[in-house]
């Protein structure tokens, strides 16, 4: 549930994330919003927010993403297709066994449905492996970057070069895991 927050300047924010985004440079705020729009994973959005020093909670960010950007739940869609195909296979088998459908016709249709079902299951497993791998890599990178920030936060000599290096590493790492 969003509650309005009024700042000392009189500006009203419906979410903590919007308030945080207003504190960022305009280019960073715009880049983050664009990233949140095109990225299907809330976890990846959370990691990117961490790079930009988002101080809020994951739940606040997750609610903000759901409120601002409609995300297709590809896993849910694929799983419902798998369940429907499985049901179709069972129905076809019963129709063949009861004699409603001739054996030859039924066998060909059954083979086709089973092949499609196996393909959907393989796609689901591949999607899960890829998502798990990306999430672990990005979460690990986020942890390392947060630790570096904490270690060098009081040393102005290192803070800016480390921040620049982290931004470059984040961009490279994200492009690598996105293309794999």
pTM to 2 decimal places: 0.53
What's the Cα-to-Cα distance from 137 to each of 31, 45, 54, rounded to whole Å?
21, 14, 19
Give the single-character DSSP code of 57: -
Q: Which residues contact 149 (CB under 8 A, 6 or more apart)?
A: 53, 159, 162, 163, 166
pLDDT in tens, 22-43: 999 999 999 999 999 988 888 8
pLDDT in tens, 81-97: 999 999 999 999 999 99
What pLDDT does residue 152 have? 82
In contact, 57 and 46? CB cutoff 8 Å: no
């Amino acid at each position: 549930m969003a509650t309005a927050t009024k700042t000392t300047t009189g500006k009203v924010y419906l979410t903590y994330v919007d308030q945080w985004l207003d504190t960022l440079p305009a280019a960073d705020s715009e880049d983050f919003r664009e990233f949140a729009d095109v990225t299907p994973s809330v976890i990846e959005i959370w990691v990117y927010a961490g790079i930009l020093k988002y101080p809020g909670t994951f739940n606040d960010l997750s609610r903000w993403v759901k409120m601002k950007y409609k995300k297709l739940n590809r896993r849910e869609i694929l799983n419902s297709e798998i369940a429907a195909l499985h049901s179709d296979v069972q129905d076809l088998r019963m129709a063949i066994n009861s004699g409603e459908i001739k054996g030859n016709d039924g066998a060909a249709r059954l083979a086709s449905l089973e092949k499609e079902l196996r393909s959907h299951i393989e796609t689901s497993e591949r999607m899960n492996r890829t998502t798990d791998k990306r999430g672990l890599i990005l979460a690990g990178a986020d942890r390392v970057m947060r630790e570096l920030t904490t270690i060098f936060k009081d040393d102005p000599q290192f803070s800016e070069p480390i921040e620049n290096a982290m931004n470059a590493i984040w961009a490279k790492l994200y492009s690598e895991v996105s293309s794999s």
